[in-house]
Amino acid sequence: MKRVLESSRYLAIFGVVSSLVASAAAFIWGGYKTVETIIALIRTQGDDPLTAVSFLELMDKFLIAAGLYIFAVGIYELFIDDLELPAWLAVHGLHTVKSRLSSIIILLMAIVFLERLIPWQDPQGTLMFGIAIAVVSAMLIAFSWFGEKE
């Protein structure tokens, strides 16, 4: 039984490969959307006020891609073996992976809020949306901070 449990750690490779494939797809998606945004910018000569929203959406795509990559690297390091990575990317525990992903989620929520803020169609809805994002962000920051203390 011990050998089976020790070997079962390699099941994590499915999550690693899936996350890497998803990360690559998100980076390609972001690259495609970048080209689309630049073409739209040239066509409208920068007169479209929603161009700023398009650039914010690009950040979304690349942050998602980075988050998937960080998750893949973290799971690999936790379950399979150490990697030669920059010190800031090295993972020494599950909390590190969760904390990094929480930071990316907070950035994504901030970008989504800005995307909604720019058109400014529903002030009360935008306020409630902002409050909800602030509460979730505060909880993720608290989770990260208190998790480090353990």
- Per-residue pLDDT tens for 46-56? 777 777 778 88
Return the CA Rg of the chain: 19
Assess contact for 20 and 69: CB atoms under 8 A: yes
- Residue among 123, 71, 131, 136 nearest 98 (CA): 71
Digits of tens for pLDDT over the chain (150 positions)?
A: 888 877 788 888 999 999 999 999 999 999 999 999 999 888 888 777 777 778 888 888 999 999 999 999 999 998 888 888 888 888 878 888 888 888 888 988 888 888 788 777 888 888 899 999 999 999 988 888 877 665
Q: How many helices (H) and strands (E) does the chain have?
A: 5, 0
Six token digits for residue 94: 């599950």
Q: Is the dihedral of CA 68, 69, 72, 74 positive or negative?
A: negative
> Tokens 């499915």 map to which residue?
14
What phi and psi values does residue 93 have, to the nearest 5 degrees?
-175, 165
Six token digits for residue 100: 């990094």
Six token digits for residue 133: 């994002």
Which residues have CB under 8 Å from 105's CB, separation 6+? 67, 140
Six token digits for residue 105: 């989620």
